[in-house]
Structure 1
């Protein structure tokens, strides 16, 4: 059944319209505002991670640092209207030992199984040539149809890009015919039909 065949006050309509056009979980409002290019700022874990984030933002993308998923953190997540890309910034001190690299690979495997797509940026490559190191990231964002925001004005206008979905409260929800049929067949405590 299509959403347009249901009353806008039905819970099924609310669920269908949400699933057809879910709001993005994070937008530019969840990004740190003042980030220094030469001093580590919270919530970033390293200056390298922060530098990659700044380069992504310079291109107009929405990027959220330290995105938590089930107690695990992704260095950076670039968000689009309906997709997102996890960006891991590989470098010291979090990728120095065999155990750290093993733990990081295991964490990524778990997150990939949960549907995450990853792109890795190596600190050594970034130090030599930031643009070459980030070229695979730009390519992956294009493949996933994650686009930069055009202008700061659009960022402000786009605060709620998916305004078509409004949750329906249980108190205002209308029961549908199937719900009413279910009530007709119920019995009270004495075993008699209601």
Structure 2
């Protein structure tokens, strides 16, 4: 667990100690976690370097003093000249996943021409954590292509039906060409790097760009390279595999696109259509089973009857979606589009979602109420 300041770290340590004092089982569990080979730690931003764990919890610390209040643009060590380096260390401590706790959102951080790289990095990271993608994070610099080579690649992409933007800034780097998704404005499908002939013999440049590419790929970018010598000798041969890949990545406009939009109102329309099977839903809501069992029961007894031919990997209540619903517990369509990862929503059969999403959220909400209700005497 990592906090952005030493005071926040101390507060977390006190909270853990209080929980341990109040419950011996918690104390035993914490002791067990601390004594593991890669045991639990609680540190602040400045001293987390060198530590890696499967899961990292990050307390962002900064935020409004009250709900809906103003977020003061004071970010401690992050606002220093080396703040971005400290964040880079923090964001690479996790081997598998991170859980972010923040009372402010990315758009609460105001960016200007004088903003430090650390503040920009924090804003971009929160944006990524909220959306689960790099959408909206790249910096549109307005810079022109660096060479005629880049211009010729951009023109060839345009002729193939793909618009692109030159010199897009991401995480302190510039991507030569960022290819846009024709079906979803604002989303980039791929970054293309255009490397000159002298690049082959520059070992330091190769090492630097390999690290740079690893950083961009970890941030969600798909990077492809075109060598100038190969391009000028056989542009068609260089471009064709990239075009095929872009077609496989682009948003399919013929599919029910409204299911995939980050727009809660469109999901609300789907809820209105889900009026059938009220008895089954009431029965499931009245059961004392766990939320996972309720969702599995609804899938088998209701959805499967009406959509028996839906592929297993596109079912609304497939195992991966059930796990996400149990862990994140969205109780409204706005929460659903906010917290459920985009890749899960996009791979769901649209007809199932339109018919049953509203009732599924009712089951989640009913489970939450039953868990928090006070027992009667």
TM-score class, shorter-chain normalisation, is: 0.5 to 0.7
Unpaired stretches in structure 2, ≥5 consecutive residues: 1-67, 69-129, 254-260, 266-377
Q: 1:103 to 1:76 in 2, by over 3 A?
A: same
1:100-119: CA deviation from partner (whole Å, max 9, x where unpaired): 11111110011111111112
C-alpha displacement of 1:92:
3.8
- Give the TM-score, by structure 2 length: 0.29
C-alpha displacement of 1:95:
5.7
Q: 1:31 to 1:110 in 2, by over 3 A?
A: closer
Give the 5 Å matches for 1:23-172: 25=136, 43-80=144-181, 81=184, 82-92=187-197, 96-145=201-250
C-alpha displacement of 1:71:
1.2
1-structure distance, mates of 2:162, 2:252:
7
- Give the TM-score, by structure 1 length: 0.53
Which structure has the greater CA radius of gyration?
A: 2
Instruction: Identify, as 1 or 2, the structure richer in helix.
Output: 2
SS in 1 for 2:152: helix
SS in 2 for 1:60: coil
Question: Which fold has the larger relative contact order, with Cα–Cα distance below 8 Å and residues 6 or more apart in sequence?
Answer: 1
What RMSD, in angstroms, separates the aligned Cα atoms of the two structures? 3.8
Q: Which runs of 4+ in 1 moved over 6 A?
A: none
1-structure distance, mates of 2:141, 2:169:
14
2-structure distance, mates of 1:147, 1:54:
23
